[in-house]
């Protein structure tokens, strides 16, 4: 067994659930199995996009983030469902419970995937045997498919789990790289988006193998320090540990949303800003955090995107401060053209306990004096369903794209 568990190396698994939201719906309703199914954020409005789809739908060209109208054009028989986040939370918790039966060294990275360090699990069998047991147990107990990558580090494990879907198990060792990894297009490499891939193609880096052979000075000039990091990963070098505490690290907390239609209506725009401020404040409160910089993102009708931020003299955490700062940024930076998307992000975020020593007495007393007011507002909001002091009345909010980050925080603070 020692050949599977080298004394100086690591054995990492990356467990990736296959078409997770769609698979959960199929597990709840077996009549959906084998049919083209898509989960879409809001089928009634333009902002309705495909969140995920079954492999039957993908075979017809349906892709994640594709507008719903386009998906239906490609696949007229497509079954469309709204997301049921309660179901996905339950399924994910059960999935992670199965992983924790193997090892406590798990780093969740989203609701449907995580890394496992099984280097010390020699007594449980070979890595392949462990992966097969995990896959079989998740399928038999939860009726959910997953793919698993086995490798000596996190990057290679992630790449391996993508190589065979659904229900695949792939071993990717460093000696396998020349024929398994390096022939792949550079755009398929984890960590490389479309813009980075285009930049690399500009210097004749078409494949991952080309990235391995590229001139390091040229890469760093093109991509900065990330150029060297990407080349090291392409070579199979990734020393980053599987860190169970990584989910608690955060520097910013944000929320963004596409408007139902491009608009110049300030009432509608400020209504959405209020909604976004509430989302961010809720997440900040859940994390027992505060932040000092507020960033506003504006995306116009022509997709031009601008971000503007301001660093405040004091840390903030509540909805009203976020909203008012967001409105100020908007009023000073909006060029009057129709807006398509808005986003608010609180940056320079830290947990309260970590910055308590930095607060002077005056700041502390000022914030403490507001605490009872905030508590009272929260209690009224809990009782009546909305903050009675808000200037702008809002509709009942729905889960947004920050769900996965919220879920991780909820799950690991239970």
Active site residues: 113
Q: Are 95 and 142 in contact (CB under 8 A)?
A: yes
Three-class DSSP category at 350 = strand
Three-class DSSP category at 376 = helix
What stretches of 172-272 adopt beta strand conformation (E)? 252-263
What distances in angstroms separate CA 270 from CA 277, 316, 318, 326, 390, one per listed residue? 10, 20, 17, 9, 12
Residues that constitute the known binding site: 16, 112
312 burial (CB, 10 Å; 0-12 / 13-18 / 19+) is middle
Q: Are 50 and 39 in contact (CB under 8 A)?
A: yes
Residues 257, 341: Cα–Cα separation, whole Å: 6
Tokens of 403: 């769900």
| Nearest CA-CA partner of 252 in 344, 319, 346 | 346
Residues that constitute the known binding site for Mg(2+): 16, 112
| Nearest CA-CA partner of 19 in 51, 41, 60 | 51
Beta partners for residue 49, in sequence order:
67
Beta partners for residue 106, in sequence order:
116
Three-class DSSP category at 114 = strand
Nearest-5° Cα angle at 107, 129 to 128: 10
Q: Are 275 and 257 in contact (CB under 8 A)?
A: yes
Residues 34, 88: Cα–Cα separation, whole Å: 20
Residues 13, 116: Cα–Cα separation, whole Å: 5
Residues 89, 96: Cα–Cα separation, whole Å: 11
């Amino acid at each position: 067994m020692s050949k599977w568990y080298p004394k100086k190396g690591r054995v990492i698994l990356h467990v990736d659930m296959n078409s997770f939201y769609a698979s959960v719906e199929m597990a709840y309703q077996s009549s959906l199995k084998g049919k083209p199914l898509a989960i879409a954020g809001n089928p009634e409005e333009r902002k309705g996009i495909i969140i995920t789809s079954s492999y039957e739908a993908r075979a017809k060209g349906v892709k994640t983030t594709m507008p719903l109208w386009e998906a239906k054009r490609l696949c007229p028989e497509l079954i469309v469902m709204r997301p049921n986040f309660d179901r996905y939370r339950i399924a994910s918790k059960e999935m992670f419970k199965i992983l924790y039966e193997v090892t406590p060294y798990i780093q969740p990275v989203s609701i449907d995937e995580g890394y496992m360090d099984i280097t010390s699990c020699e007594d449980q069998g070979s890595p392949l045997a462990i992966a097969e047991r995990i896959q079989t147990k998740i399928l038999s107990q939860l009726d959910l498919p997953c793919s698993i990558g086995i490798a000596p580090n996190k990057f290679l494990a992630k790449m391996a789990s993508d190589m065979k879907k659904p229900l695949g198990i792939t071993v990717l060792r460093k000696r396998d790289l020349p024929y398994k990894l390096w022939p792949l297009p550079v755009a398929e490499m984890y960590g490389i988006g479309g813009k980075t891939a285009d930049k690399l193609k500009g210097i004749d880096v078409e494949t991952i193998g080309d990235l391995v052979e590229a001139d390091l000075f040229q890469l760093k000039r093109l991509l900065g320090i990330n150029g060297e990091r990407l080349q090291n990963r392409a070579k199979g070098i990734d020393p980053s540990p599987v860190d169970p505490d990584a989910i608690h690290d955060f520097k910013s907390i944000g929320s963004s949303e596409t408007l139902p239609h491009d608009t110049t209506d300030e009432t509608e725009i400020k209504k959405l800003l209020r909604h976004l401020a509430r989302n961010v404040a809720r997440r900040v409160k859940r994390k027992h955090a505060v932040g000092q910089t507020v960033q506003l993102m504006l995306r116009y009708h022509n997709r031009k995107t601008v971000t503007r931020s301001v660093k405040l003299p004091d840390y903030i955490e509540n909805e009203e401060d976020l909203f008012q700062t967001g409105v100020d940024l908007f009023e000073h930076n909006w060029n009057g053209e129709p807006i398509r998307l808005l986003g608010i992000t609180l940056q320079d975020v830290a947990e309260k306990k970590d910055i308590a020593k930095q607060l002077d007495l005056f700041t502390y007393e000022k914030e403490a004096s507001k605490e009872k007011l905030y508590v009272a507002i929260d209690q009224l909001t809990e009782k009546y369903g909305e903050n009675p002091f808000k200037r702008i009345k809002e509709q009942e909010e729905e889960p947004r794209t920050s769900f996965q980050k919220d879920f991780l925080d909820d799950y690991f603070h239970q």
